[in-house]
Chains A and B, each alone.
Chain A
Amino acid sequence: MTDGRRSPEELLAQIRQEEARATRGRLKIFFGASPGVGKTFAMLEDARARRAEGVDVLVGVVETHGRRETEAVLAGLAVLPRREISYRGVSLHEFDLEAALERRPSLILVDELAHTNAPGCRHTRRWQDVEELLAAGISVYSALNVQHLESLNDIVARITGVAPRETVPDAVFDGADEIELADLSPEDLLKRMGQGKVYLPEQATRAAEGFFRKGNLIALRELALRRVAERVDAQMRGYMREHGIRETWAASERILVCVGPGSDATRLIRSASRLATALKCEWAALHVERPQDVARPREERESVFEGLELAEQLGGRSITISGHELAAEILAYAATHNVTRILLGRTRRTETWHWRGSLAERLMQAEGDHEVSVLGGEPDTAAPRRAQRLKVESWREYRFSLVIVTGCALAGWAIVQLLSVTDVAMVFLLGAVIVGARCGRGPSLMAAVLSIAAFDFFFVPPYLTFEVTDLRYLLTFLVMLVVALVISGLTVRIREQAEAARSRERRTSALYALSRDLADAADVAAVASTVARHLRETLGGDVAVLLDDESRLAAPAPGDPAFAAEEKERSVADWVLRNRRVAGLGTDTLPASKARWFPLLGPEGAVGVLGIAPLDLDALEDPSVRGLVETFAGQAAVALERVRLSENSRRVALEVEAERLRTSLLSSLSHDLRTPLAAITGSASSLLEDRGQLDAAQRRDLAETVLEEAGRMNRLIVNLLDMIRLETGVLAVQSDWLPMEEPVGVALIRLEGRLGDHPVTVHLPPDLPLLQLDSVLMEQVFVNLLENAAKHTPPGTKIEIEAESRPTEVIVTVADDGPGLPPGEEQRVFEKFYRVPGASGAGGVGLGLTICRGIVTAHGGRMWAEARPGGGAAFRFSIPIRGTPPLLPTEADEAISGTSLPG
């Protein structure tokens, strides 16, 4: 970037952006500092102007709040009827997204971008409706107040004392194609309010009184103006980038904000985002996952994940790494990523009491060029950690603790008879240590206290009272208490670490098992079922994987759970596939579904969707489970993509092979059909044009040529047709009980005169059984083999036909003592269109042997070629012996001769 040239990736990103922009609708936001500045009015004015230009304008939803001037501008514009939704007995009128999508105007007006939809709508938030309209290619006009911007949310809260709950992600605002600022000075606004021209809902009047103070209005106006100015600045930078203009400042700053449980993640991240915007630099949010954090309450871990999500929304990167030592991990990341500023929240006191100083101190002491900023403000109040702990320790541990102390007391009673009281103290200490080593903090503490009480009560004079006369015993009590607490503390730590390790181990092994099985999955369906099965085993509940079938959702496979076939769920899945966002159960989009659907995103877009109908929703909300599901979805997408790619490449390879065959077939056909045709045409035309120049012998020669060449073409066509029949599976073997002699005989008669000087000898043993053969096809086998032998051997070469009967098959050999096959070509000769190198054009298309093998295979036999020991080639095939033919009825008189019967 700094050299003013743009990388290919950047160019590609720009092209993609432009492409997306071309199909997407345009978003124009009318932006204002507060209600009443005239956003809606400006929007309607603009819409009227557009309509006058002939644009198809539709009013999706506009709140006039009964203001007359606004209603006057609205008149004459087409208005979409609202959708009525009854919720808890109240009927609410909401924007009808489905109707708007179906109506497809060029421009639609959707007021109040920050609005929250009533339950039952497709999305929980209106800005999501707008996103979908834009994705469908519909341009949108909308209105937004500055206090509803996500990143400014906390500043607004500090200015006005009211934290708006409805916020819009900054990405929506920044992604808008146009922002129009509706501005009004605070004085004018207050005047308008005084005239009752600003609408305020009744219940909000009191809050509004505080809100519409002049100081607030000035601050909000400043915020709005600054935000718009920042956007203009960003546009300027974008313009410079797009046009390759070198930026005048160096983007050397890089901010890293560290979030963890217990820190106020969202506030930290908003600050980082603002700082980054002001410094015009990249920023990232880092979370270091430590083993001991697993034991933290869920809300704390949740807040970290929310923070990371927020970071992505605000345009930063979010990174999670795991490690033990916070400072070390943060420094390592900072060093490798050239971070210049590290942002931290103020941590709770327990964290600060580290023997090497607080995290901030350790970061500052470390070497490096980074600055460390600690954000002020009140950190979260301590979460009820103890309550969480108690759940871990069962009542059984308390019982165990009680039993041990009782045992110690009894043992002590026995010991005190023989030894001193200090030895009894040792017994109690031992008991406290045992409990501490085995149980949690609570039971350990109980054991320590009970031991002290029992020791004091039973063994320290005065007996049977809690009074202590000898102060030395107080030291014993203290030591017992401290030892019990230290040991139980250690135990709890070890347990937490073990728990964390176990959970990591579970996740890792689940992932390992998944990726191992995915590697074996050969097709798309196998990938889908493997992912579904693994997720089911890991999460419980029902899991379905539906695949993308040419931009539509494929039908569920037979093994998929019932919910995958439901119309409603499929429409959610379909939405997820098209919009590539998570939707369904417990999300902002279509939350009433039974399942939550995740898109499986490959490099080329969504390849399918993953639906999970969990046993209970809470399980799905657990951040570690969510991470796991997302990893699974990622793995599934990669595997699907891999399978698709390999299927594609296989198909392409097949096509190439088919293409090669087609080409070679066409070239041989055009040669092999044209040669005889040329000879026929030439000879026939000579005969036709003959005016007595040709003598009888010449005429005969020409006529013979015609006949011979026609015969050659006929044989070629027969072979081609047989090949097609074999390939298309039309060739049906019509077997009959046949002696091998018969097809051999027919072939020899058919080839009479064509074998030239190739004497054929036939050796068929008399005990050869009848076989199940198709007489026509078997004859073709012999014809092709004999013709082949005659074609590829010099005249005078002997051809032998032999057969040998084996227990389960008959082996037939057609051999010659000619030059033999080129070495190593024994297999290739059976390939389609194969011709022995150097053979003359007199050969066929190279189908003869292929057909032979096809016919033999169709008979259940095998065919192969080998070199003959004495030289020459041998083609052999086997025909299986399938049973024996039914017995012949014996003739009454076997030895009878014709003469013995009277005439």
Chain B
Amino acid sequence: MTDAGPLVLLIEDEPQMRRFLRAALDAQGLRLVEAPTAREGLAQAAARSPDLILLDLGLPDGDGLDLTRQIREWSTTPIIVLSARGQESDKVAALDAGADDYLTKPFSVPELLARIRVALRHAARGTGGEADIVVGDLRIDFASRLVFVRGEEIHLTPLEYKLLATLARHAGKVLTHRQLLREVWGPNAANQNHYLRVYMTQLRHKVESDPTHPRLLLTEPGVGYRMRAE
């Protein structure tokens, strides 16, 4: 991670945000390209082929959502969306449009770095990796479809297993309600949020040691769910 560190494109209009991110990311060995507008961001994304894009949703000259769609037309570069609280529907729209993750302002640098790491890892591995996953007390054996908590096998229904496996494959990354429903229940169930709530509750009761204070299966209010990465 010296001069060949991953290239991050930061599309953000606020100079003070750019200044602080420049310092924080540089210290971590990440190279940074900056773009203050959506237009320049799109141009830079095409010209520099960054390894990751940090996109502010509130750009003055355009919609971050449109920019996400445009980039996704020709690139699978992971995109992390930065936005303020209270814009849950914007976040969901951006995620559904192809963004990989989001961060609510204000956020801490360790939080940002963790998200960047997860995004880069997922991008490097693709979705094909079917190795065992171990997070905390939980171990999922994808090959034999077995789930262990603190070494003990637990029984899951097929849908519970499918939900857990989906979250685990994207561990560390947020999945929107729509994405999860589509993945687990199929395209026709995209609006049946309560399916997800019920199964999530059941799953937590089987997997978590204290289901009212979950440590593994985290809720992202108004957006979706995320499995803790490490």
With A746-B219, A776-B222 in contact, is A896–B157 under 8 Å at CB?
yes
The answer to whether A901 touches B145, judged by C-beta atoms less than 8 angstroms apart, is yes
In the bound complex, what is the Cα–Cα distance between A764 and B213 (angstroms)?
12
Q: Contact: A901 with B219, CB < 8 Å?
A: no
**Does B221 contact A779, Cβ atoms closer than 8 Å?**
yes
Q: Establish whether residues A718 and B85, one from each chain, have CB atoms under 8 Å apart when the complex forms.
A: yes
A737-B193 in contact (CB<8A): yes
A69 CB-CB contact with B under 8 Å: no
Q: Which residues of B contact A894 (CB under 8 A)?
A: 157
CB atoms of B147 and A898 under 8 A apart = yes
Q: Would you call B103 an interface residue if the criterion is a C-beta within 8 Å of the partner chain's C-beta atoms?
A: no
Shortest B128–chain A CB gap in Å is 16
Interface assignment of A823: CB less than 8 Å from any CB of chain B: no
| Known contacts A737-B197, A762-B213; A775 and B161 CB within 8 A of each other | no
Please indicate the chain B residues that have their CB under 8 angstroms from the CB of A746 in the complex: 219, 221
Of A745, A893, A899, which contacts B214 at CB under 8 A? A745
Q: Find out whether the CB atom of A721 lies under 8 angstroms from the CB atom of B86.
A: yes
Which of chain B's residues have a CB closer than 8 A to the CB of A748? 212-213
Given A741-B212, A748-B212, A748-B213, A899 and B145 contact (CB-CB distance below 8 Å):
yes
Q: Which residues of A contact B214 (CB under 8 A)?
A: 745, 749
Measured CB to CB, the closest approach of chain A to B123, in angstroms, equals: 27
Q: Does the CB pair A749–B213 fall under 8 Å?
A: yes
CB distance from B40 to the nearest CB of A (A): 29
CB of A714 within 8 Å of the partner chain: yes
The B116-138 residues at the A interface (CB cut-off 8 A) are none
Q: Are A897 and B194 within 8 A (Cβ)?
A: no
Residues of B within 8 A of A738 (CB): 197
Judge if A414 is at the interface, Cβ distance under 8 Å: no
Q: How far is the CA of A897 from the CA of B86 in the complex (A)?
A: 40
Given contacts A749-B218, A776-B222, contact A899 B144 (CB under 8 A): yes
**How far is the CB of A399 from the nearest CB of chain B, in Å?**
91
A857 at the interface (CB under 8 A from B): no
Q: In the complex, are the beta carbons of A714 and B212 less than 8 A apart?
A: no
Whether the Cβ atoms of A770 and B197 lie closer than 8 Å is yes
A interface bracket (residues with beta carbon within 8 Å of B) = 35 or more
Closest to B222 in A: A776
Instruction: Assess whether B88 is in contact with A776, with CB atoms less than 8 Å apart.
Output: yes
Q: Is A903 at the interface (CB under 8 A from chain B)? A: yes
- Cβ-closest chain B residue relative to A738: B197
Residues of B within 8 A of A736 (CB): 193-194, 197
Q: Bound complex: CA of A738 vs CA of B222, how far in Å?
A: 11
- A710 with B198: CB separation less than 8 A: no
List CB contacts (< 8 Å) of A712-739 with chain B: 714, 718, 721, 734, 736-739
Known pairs A739-B201, A743-B221, A903-B143; A893 contacts B158 (CB<8 A): yes
Q: Mark B189-230, 1 if CB is under 8 A from A, else 0.
A: 000111101101100100000011110001101100000000
* Chain A: minimal CB distance from B152 (Å): 13
Q: Which of A718, A741, A744 has the most CB of B within 10 A?
A: A741
Interface assignment of A232: CB less than 8 Å from any CB of chain B? no
A764: which of B156, B193, B212, B219 is its contact (CB, 8 Å)?
Answer: B212
Least CB distance from B200 to A in Å reads 8
**0/1 string, A868-893, CB within 8 A of B gives 1:** 00000000000000000110100111
User: Is A831 engaged at the interface, CB distance under 8 Å to the other chain?
Assistant: no
* Chain B residues numbered 66-93 whose CB sits less than 8 Å from any CB in chain A: 85-86, 88-89
Contact call A898/B145, Cβ cutoff below 8 A: yes
- The number of residues on chain B lying at the interface, defined by a beta carbon within 8 Å of a beta carbon of chain A, is 35
Contacts of B222 in A (CB 8 A): 734, 774-776
- Compute how far the CA of A439 lies from the CA of B141 in the bound complex, rounded to whole angstroms: 119
A440 to B145, CA, bound (A): 117
Q: Is the interface of A mostly helix, strand, loop or mixed?
A: mixed
Contact A775 B198 (CB under 8 A): no
Q: A741, A886, A891: which contacts B194 (Cβ < 8 A)?
A: A886
A742, CB-defined interface residue at 8 Å: yes
Confirm or deny: B2 has a beta carbon within 8 angstroms of a beta carbon on chain A.
no
The answer to whether B193 and A741 have CB atoms under 8 Å apart is: no
Tell which of A743, A744, A885, A898 touches B156, judged by Cβ atoms closer than 8 Å: A898
Bound CA–CA A19/B219 (angstroms): 74
Q: B212 contacts A744, CB within 8 Å?
A: yes
Task: List A contacts of B155 (CB < 8 A).
Answer: 895-898
**Which of B158, B197, B198 is A901 in contact with, Cβ under 8 Å?**
B158
On chain B, the residues within 8 Å of A896 by CB distance are 155, 157-158
Which one of A744, A779, A898, A901 has the greatest number of beta carbons of chain B within 10 Å?
A: A898
- Contacts A742-B197, A746-B221, A776-B221; is A899 near B212 (CB within 8 Å)? no
Q: Which of A714, A888, A898 contacts B161 (CB 8 A)?
A: A898
In Å, the complex CA distance between A774 and B218 comes to: 17
Flag whether B16 is at the interface (Cβ < 8 A): no
CA distance A714 to B106 in the complex (A): 8
Interface 1/0 per residue, B39-53 and A, CB below 8 Å: 000000000000000
Residues of A near B156 (CB, < 8 A) are 897-898
Whether B14 is near chain A, meaning CB under 8 Å from some CB there, is no
Q: Is B114 an interface residue (CB 8 A)?
A: no
Which residues of chain A (685-724) have a CB below 8 Å from chain B? 707, 710, 714, 718, 721
B89: chain A residues within 8 A (beta carbon): 734
Give the chain B neighbours of A895 by CB distance below 8 A. 155
The complex places the Cα of A135 from the Cα of B98 at a distance, in Å, of 76
Residues from 470 to 516 in A contacting B, C-beta threshold 8 Å: none
Chain B neighbourhood of A770, CB < 8 A: 194, 197-198
Measured CB to CB, the nearest residue on chain B to A898 is B145
Return the chain A residue nearest B194 by Cβ.
Answer: A737
Residue of B nearest to A885 (CB): B194
Which single residue of chain B is at the shortest CB-CB distance from A775? B221
Is A739 in contact with B197, judged by CB distance below 8 angstroms?
A: yes
Q: Is B146 an interface residue (CB 8 A)?
A: yes
B106, B157, B211, B219: which contacts A891 (Cβ < 8 A)?
B157
Q: Which residues of A contact B145 (CB under 8 A)?
A: 898-899, 901, 903
**Shortest Cβ distance from residue A741 to the other chain B in the assembled complex, whole angstroms:** 6
Contacts of A891 in B (CB 8 A): 157-159
> Which of chain B's residues have a CB closer than 8 A to the CB of A741?
201, 204, 211-212
Q: Closest chain B residue to A730 by CB distance?
A: B86
Q: Considering the chains assembled together, what is the distance between the CA atoms of A743 and B153 in angstroms?
A: 29
Are B219 and A762 neighbours in the complex by a CB distance under 8 Å? no
CB distance from A805 to the nearest CB of B (A): 15
Q: For B221, what are the chain A residues with a Cβ–Cβ distance below 8 Å?
A: 743, 746, 775-776, 779
A738 to B196, CA, bound (A): 10
Contacts of A903 in B (CB 8 A): 143-145
- Residue numbers in A under 8 Å from B193 (CB-CB): 736-737
Q: Nearest chain-B residue to A718 (Cβ)?
A: B85
CA distance A886 to B143 in the complex (A): 35
Complex alpha-carbon distance, A710 and B106, angstroms: 9
- Chain A: minimal CB distance from B178 (Å): 13
A779 to B211, CA, bound (A): 16
Q: List the B residue with the shortest CB-CB distance to A737.
A: B194
Residues on A with C-beta less than 8 A from B194 are: 736-737, 770, 885-886, 888
* Contact between B213 and A899, CB atoms less than 8 A apart: no
A762 vs B212: C-alpha distance when bound (angstroms) = 7
Q: State the CA gap A897–B85 with chains docked (Å).
A: 40
Task: Give the one of B153, B157, B161, B218 with max A CB within 10 A.
Answer: B157
* 7 CB-based A-B contacts, threshold 8 Å: A742-B219, A745-B211, A745-B213, A775-B222, A779-B221, A895-B155, A901-B145
Q: A734-B88, A745-B219 are in contact. List 8 more A-B contacts (CB 8 A).
A: A710-B106, A721-B86, A742-B197, A774-B222, A775-B219, A891-B158, A898-B144, A901-B145
Name the 9 nearest CB pairs between A and B, nearest first.
Answer: A737-B194, A897-B155, A762-B212, A885-B194, A775-B221, A898-B145, A776-B222, A776-B221, A748-B213
B residues bordering A, Cβ < 8 Å? Answer: 85-86, 88-89, 106, 108, 143-147, 153, 155-159, 161, 192-195, 197-198, 200-201, 204, 211-214, 218-219, 221-222
